[in-house]
Structure 1
Amino acid sequence: MSYNDNTSYLDHSHLTPADFTAFEQILAARRDSRPYLDSDWDLILTSHSHTGRTWESTHAIFRPGGAFGTADEVYVRVYFDENGRALPDRPRHPASAQPLTSDLAEQLPGWSVQPCPVSPGRDLAELRHQTWGWGTPPWNIASVPHAALALTGPQGEKLLAVQVSEDAPLLVGAVIPDGFAYTIGAVRPPAPVAFTAGTTPATVASEITKNLAPRYQQAVWHERTGFVTYALANIQDLTTAWIPDPDSPWSYHGEIGSFESEAARNRAAWRGIETLINHGPHVTAGIRAAATIEDHLDPVIGPDLRRLYVTEDALTRLHEIRDGWQAATASIVGTHPEADRLRHRAKDLRNQEAWAHAVRAADGPLPALAAHVTPRIGSPVPDREQQVKAALTRTGRLQGQSAPAPAPPVPPAPAAHRPTR
């Protein structure tokens, strides 16, 4: 078991005061560069964060050792204040409501406004880790802010409002979207907006809806389309790299490398497939929402929009395949060779079944359609009825309006009367 972001750490409720005392003593010994062996815990790593000379956070990861050592490795993550005192995780009780909560909720119809847990240690560390585009957040893991609110918008916007002290400015900025394991450095999320203490909630709400929310939507869209476009291009490359030897199904060479088998190609595609599963449905939904009636009537874009359902079906099947694989592997218990063989076999079957659907998605119009609607992301969605009327007007088929009736034919002039003689 390796200690990384996916590691499950031991809950602090299983620890005793003596454990936290040991953590503090071990950290102090590490700071003073002296040995400390009188403990049932081993220090695995420490991390200190500073901005210039200003301390921001300290955490350490410990593992039971000595008498507590077991065959199964268990890790504990502990946060410390600036003086090296351990900050035990507290049970997560609902955060207390603040006056600003109801005031902002009243001014932001359709939004969820919820206070954030702000206990020193894990709560404040997670609050810092959620920020997107803040640079260095103005609070550390030991200083509890005066107010901290999570704002969730109707289009999936995720913002954070923090006021460090009662007289400090209220900062409102972006939060990393759900499902983002990482972000693309080239995409610039909106910078936090500072409101002086005493700014009315109506002013804050207006800035959020008119500027922050649209810019957030645009940044998330660029992230998602970047992920999806790269994943589709990678799958396309894998299809061109697949050149089987007619005499052997186990030998191929291509522009981006060679594979020992079809299974190896399918394994190489899985990371891109997971990206499609996580972000593709958001992109197709965004295209559907931004497409206009005129797009459907357009001779270039219209056919691509009519083919989008093929991509949506492929994404649905990929999601079902991943769900089925997760359910199957969850039923395989143990670490014996037979269990490992079954897990490996389940993964190969997953990759094999997913490959054909991934190719369907890669052959579809998703990148072109995403690029077409990108300039509209973050703009108000026009009324559907107005879209219809505008489209029909431009095509000369406005309902209820008939072409002007042709002028009645002019009767021929009567023949001139010729007097008789």
Structure 2
Amino acid sequence: MPSTDIESYLDHSHLTAADFTAFEQLLAAQRDRRPYTDSDWHLVLSSTGRGGDGRWESTYALFRPGGAFGNPAPDDEAYVRVYFDENGRALPDQPHRPAPVPPFAAELAEHLPGWTVRPSPLAPGRDLAELRSQAWGWGRLPWNTASAPHTALTLTGPNGERLLAVRTGADAPLLVGAARPDNVPAYNPRAVHLPAPVTFPAGAPPAALAAELTTTLGPRCQQAAWQTRASAATHAVEALRRLSTAYIPAPGDPWGHGEIGSFDSQEDRNRAAWPYTETLIDQGLYLVAGIRSAATIEDHLDPAIGPDLRHLNVSETALDRLREVRDGWRDAAASIIGSHPAADRVRMRAEDLRNAEAWACSSRIADGPLTALAKHVAPKIGFPAPDREEQVKAAIARSANVLGQSTPVPVPVSAPLRPDGRHSTR
């Protein structure tokens, strides 16, 4: 199967009509549970998705060059992914061409300063499957991988919020809902509240639509993305903390146990930790940026939160190092050719080195304030940041009240703030 880190699929432009005929025949044989082999291709797996009402939505299959009796592919991770319609006909990928911008989309963009409005390609197969994967918490979708909607737009806001707008017909209402943000993990429906798609009449003025998106739907999408990222990071941190208590026997001392059991070696423990470390790599920098943006002057002056904010740079530095470790490992893995035993040993050694360095960095994040700060600022995500001068005034007033002072200590509100939340003296 393709690697979970880097998936490589063959380009459909290199395939012939005979190849697609073979794909259809192999899939049909699997559906009918009858034997069928092809000298050029081998069916690895197939998947058919259906909605809650049993209606067909999508079918795809992975094929490997070489066939059941042919020579194996030179690269064991070279596969071709093919989508099929409900009747089992292959849907070859088409070259991406710039989708035309509907007049409505151009007018909507004028009322959304700072946003991008991009039409989505709607070719049957991969394009429509990708469009389906973007819909976040929509429930039943008004299109499938073989039947496209009339129009689809992806709207991206200045704060990372993403929306998907779909119109099934030329005069149909516009359906707008959340679009899955980049690198967002799978979410727990009980912990994340995704906004339901909103339907706008066909003649809704773009200005009214833009106002609804920027004041209601967009902020709700930001909150849902934050909940998802914070939940994933918290789960990863908790798992890393548990792994840190696992028992690893010293040489000559094979007995003992930890809170979560034992590992035969540090390499085994580090290997178990890597998936959680990758979650931190993917989500951590989003959380750091959000915390810095949402934290107020009061937070920096608060003795319960301020020290954590001043130590956030430790987590940020560790996250940057983890990205370097992963990028370096990927470059090294790409240079290892073949699947013979010697190459496999080199890959395993490279992974062990990656895991060892990653463990040291990830433990600093697990022991740091990242997830606690993410929880603290969560209620502020999606709302406009208060005016900086007003933040300073409010913080000084509260400090004066706590100290029992009759008048606040004068501090120039125009003084710039350093990253640790203190005022610069210049």
TM over 0.5, shorter chain: yes
Contact 2:185 2:232 in 1 (8 A): no
Contact 1:250 1:261 in 2 (8 A): no
1:241 maps onto 2:246 in alignment: yes
Bigger shift: residues 75-84 or 23-32: 23-32
Contact 1:133 1:191 in 2 (8 A): yes
Cα distance per residue 1:2-30 (max 9 Å; x no partner) = 59896433222122223333444554555
Bigger shift: residues 264-273 or 253-262: 264-273
User: What corresponds to 2:13 in structure 1?
Assistant: 13
Bigger shift: residues 340-349 or 124-133: 340-349
User: What corresponds to 1:70 in structure 2?
Assistant: 71
Deviation of 1:196 (Å): 1.2
With over 3 angstroms needed to count, the CA separation of the structure-2 counterparts of 1:301 and 1:102, relative to structure 1, is: same
Q: Match for 1:263: what amino acid?
A: E
With over 3 angstroms needed to count, the CA separation of the structure-2 counterparts of 1:292 and 1:227, relative to structure 1, is: same
1:229 maps onto 2:234 in alignment: yes
Deviation of 1:314 (Å): 1.8
Partner of 1:145, secondary structure, is coil
Contact 2:247 2:261 in 1 (8 A): no
Contact 1:251 1:261 in 2 (8 A): no
For normalisation by structure 1, the TM-score amounts to: 0.86
> 1:397 is matched with which residue: 385, 409, 425?
409
Contact 1:124 1:140 in 2 (8 A): yes
Bigger shift: residues 20-29 or 339-348: 20-29
Deviation of 1:347 (Å): 1.7
1:121 maps onto 2:119 in alignment: no
With over 3 angstroms needed to count, the CA separation of the structure-2 counterparts of 1:23 and 1:265, relative to structure 1, is: closer
Alignment of 1:98-247 (within 5 A): 98-186=102-190, 187-242=192-247, 244-245=249-250
* C-alpha distance in 1 between matches for 2:341 and 2:33: 44
Contact 1:22 1:39 in 2 (8 A): no
Alignment of 1:284-299 (within 5 A): 284-299=288-303
List alignment gaps of at least 5 residues for structure 1.
Answer: 402-421
> 2:281 is matched with which residue: 277, 280, 289?
277
With over 3 angstroms needed to count, the CA separation of the structure-2 counterparts of 1:346 and 1:58, relative to structure 1, is: closer
Partner of 1:9, secondary structure, is coil
Q: Match for 2:12: what amino acid?
A: H
Partner of 1:374, secondary structure, is helix
With over 3 angstroms needed to count, the CA separation of the structure-2 counterparts of 1:105 and 1:249, relative to structure 1, is: farther
Q: Name the larger-Rg structure.
A: 1
RMSD, aligned α-carbons: 2.7
List alignment gaps of at least 5 residues for structure 2.
Answer: 400-407, 414-426
* C-alpha distance in 2 between matches for 1:48 and 1:380: 43
Cα distance per residue 1:130-178 (max 9 Å; x no partner) = 2110111101222222111111111111111110101221111112211
* C-alpha distance in 2 between matches for 1:92 and 1:130: 17
Cα distance per residue 1:52-80 (max 9 Å; x no partner) = 36432333334445698321255433223
Cα distance per residue 1:370-404 (max 9 Å; x no partner) = 22211111111111122112222333224479xxx
Q: Could you tell me the percent identity over the aligned residues? A: 61
* C-alpha distance in 1 between matches for 2:337 and 2:82: 31
* C-alpha distance in 2 between matches for 1:196 and 1:266: 54
1:60 maps onto 2:61 in alignment: yes
* C-alpha distance in 1 between matches for 2:4 and 2:319: 29
Deviation of 1:359 (Å): 1.7
* C-alpha distance in 2 between matches for 1:269 and 1:221: 23
With over 3 angstroms needed to count, the CA separation of the structure-2 counterparts of 1:252 and 1:338, relative to structure 1, is: farther
User: What corresponds to 2:416 in structure 1?
Assistant: none
Partner of 2:338, secondary structure, is coil
* C-alpha distance in 1 between matches for 2:314 and 2:288: 11
Bigger shift: residues 390-399 or 277-286: 390-399
Partner of 1:114, secondary structure, is strand
Partner of 1:128, secondary structure, is helix
With over 3 angstroms needed to count, the CA separation of the structure-2 counterparts of 1:71 and 1:34, relative to structure 1, is: closer
* C-alpha distance in 1 between matches for 2:291 and 2:274: 25
Bigger shift: residues 15-24 or 303-312: 15-24
* C-alpha distance in 1 between matches for 2:103 and 2:143: 21
1:94 maps onto 2:101 in alignment: no
* C-alpha distance in 2 between matches for 1:204 and 1:24: 44
Contact 1:215 1:378 in 2 (8 A): yes
> 1:383 is matched with which residue: 372, 383, 387?
387
Partner of 1:274, secondary structure, is helix
Cα distance per residue 1:118-137 (max 9 Å; x no partner) = 01111111111221101111
Cα distance per residue 1:310-344 (max 9 Å; x no partner) = 22222222222222222333333333433322222
* C-alpha distance in 1 between matches for 2:173 and 2:167: 6
User: What corresponds to 2:261 in structure 1?
Assistant: 257
For normalisation by structure 2, the TM-score amounts to: 0.85
Deviation of 1:84 (Å): 3.6
